[in-house]
Structure 1
Amino acid sequence: MKPFLLIATRAEDDTADGEYEQILRFGNLDEKDLVRIRLEAAPMPDLNLDDYSGVIVGGSPFTGSDPIEKKTETQLRVEAEISTLLDEIVPRDFPFLGACYGVGTLLGHQGAVIDSTYSEPVGGVTIKLTEEGKKDPLLADIPDSFGAFVGHKEAVTVFPAHAVLLASSDTCPVQMFRIKENLYGTQFHPELDAPGIAQRIRTYKNSGYFEPEEADTLIEQTAQWDVSDANRVVAAFTARYATD
């Protein structure tokens, strides 16, 4: 099988490794099946998409809608390099799954308006499939309503007309979408279970997602959520697009 390519942007080794391990586990992949590029650490190497089954973009501490003067040189480079990669991925309709940061990258690339209007605090939410979502092959075996973890400072305010809305929530209208046939993004984190989000809470407790003193309470609250159906999105993607 050709491996999948994971584009990661987290600077903290333990959190970056946790994300990699969770995608391996929920994607039913061995290490040989998932090549990781830590884009925050070094520029994008030369890539041939034909060497891969698909591309996965993990979550990120970067907020794409921040004013340019607030962005670091690393963030600007990462955004430019992912955008250049999408210049090839989108016309080819090459299998793509973006988790949380995937909304800002893929939909931003496709002309969406991304801002703080529908930001969501860290925690569990109920995701509801749209009629199109109920028909999508990636969601065929997933209930119409399921729990998932979120935590983001930005989200879609103006959704592109050519994108297909697959899932929503009461607090954020765009929770999952598709462009063309094979390009997917989720605002929720399909790669996270309770231990995974607990690690993120500890890592980013001073990053403005919540008050630092709330961390222990958030860990207790998120531990009560069943997000196993959200995790199945990763497995559905890797199963559908694995190629020899």
Structure 2
Amino acid sequence: MPRLLIVKTGDSFADVARDHGDFETLFRRVLVDSPAVPSVRVFDAPRASFLPDLDDIDGLLITGSHAMVSHAEPWSEALRPWLVEARARDIAMLGVCYGHQLMAAAFGGTSDFHPAGRESGTREIALTEAGRRDPLLGSLPTRFRAHLSHAQTVLTAPAEACVLAANAHDPHQALRHGPRQWSVQFHPEFTPAVMRAYLAHQREALRDQGEAPERLIADVTATPEATGLLSRFALLAARARETTPQA
């Protein structure tokens, strides 16, 4: 079975963590149902004093956060060269939201506040031609719905990155950074209840940018296709481990 490490990059709202689970719990809850039944550990990056040994890892899942990549906090900056090394070793990676932005920044792109403001709610995303052929995202419909909650974004994709999905708000909804290294701006781990809770916290910010939070809350739906990416990622990590000679 693949040895997966959830890189926890922050905490959710206290009430969300209490009622629905923190970021790592949401990931684990989906992965428990994966046919790969992976071994999953959690690394709490903001509170850690050292980085895990990559020799013991087959796949990395990098979570969202309420931190901002552009603020360059020391723990976040320390992850950059570690992620570069992980990519050089061809360790499978899936970055989500903050993880998406951090991977892009680590690999030569730029991440900062989106000039059009926040994107929140259940939104439609479209695969690019490359996305339709991708081993991870290619399992999705050409157009699918996903949960989103972000103020920062990937403004410039790394030169070697391949854009796999986009929408009107964000041309970099999903990127591939190498053979087995992906990142997505949306939250495959969010449930509808979690998405509604996030929108409730963001009411004032959304109104300030001219959006109707109550309509966004009413429009929240299940996103089984997007959620399925986590199990698909675990399967791809498992297959890679099966074909890699073990020490």
TM-score (norm 1): 0.83
Q: CA deviation at 1:216?
A: 7.4
Give me the CA root mean square deviation. Answer: 2.8
- Pair 95,211 (structure 1): closer, same or farther in 2 beyond 3 Å: same
Tell me which residue corresponds to 1:89: 86
Distance of 2:178 and 2:128 partners within structure 1: 17
Distance of 1:156 and 1:56 partners within structure 2: 18
Asked if residue 129 in structure 1 is aligned to residue 97 in structure 2, the reply is no
Asked if residue 35 in structure 1 is aligned to residue 41 in structure 2, the reply is yes
Distance of 2:149 and 2:197 partners within structure 1: 13
Q: Retained in 1: the 8 A contact 2:130–2:164?
A: yes
Distance of 1:10 and 1:178 partners within structure 2: 23
Unaligned runs of 5+ in 1: 69-75
Asked if residue 192 in structure 1 is aligned to residue 190 in structure 2, the reply is yes
Q: CA deviation at 1:84?
A: 2.9
Letter in 1 for 2:25: E
Q: Following TM superposition, where does structure 1 have runs of at least 4 consecutive aligned residues deviating by more than 6 angstroms?
A: none
Q: Retained in 2: the 8 A contact 1:152–1:209?
A: no
Which stretch of the first structure deviates more once superposed, 108-117 or 11-20?
11-20
Asked if residue 53 in structure 1 is aligned to residue 58 in structure 2, the reply is yes
Q: Retained in 2: the 8 A contact 1:134–1:144?
A: yes
Tell me which residue corresponds to 2:68: 63
Alignment counterpart, residue 100 of structure 1, candidates 74, 97, 115: 97
TM-score (norm 2): 0.82
Q: Retained in 2: the 8 A contact 1:120–1:171?
A: no
Asked if residue 161 in structure 1 is aligned to residue 159 in structure 2, the reply is yes
Tell me which residue corresponds to 2:30: 26
Q: Retained in 2: the 8 A contact 1:117–1:157?
A: no
Q: CA deviation at 1:22?
A: 2.2
Could you tell me the percent identity over the aligned residues? 24
Q: Retained in 1: the 8 A contact 2:11–2:23?
A: no
Aligned pair count reads 231
Query: Within 5 Å, which residues of 2 pair with 1:141-156?
Result: 141-156=139-154
3-state SS of 1:105 partner: helix
Alignment counterpart, residue 138 of structure 2, candidates 134, 137, 140: 140
Alignment counterpart, residue 228 of structure 2, candidates 193, 217, 232: 232
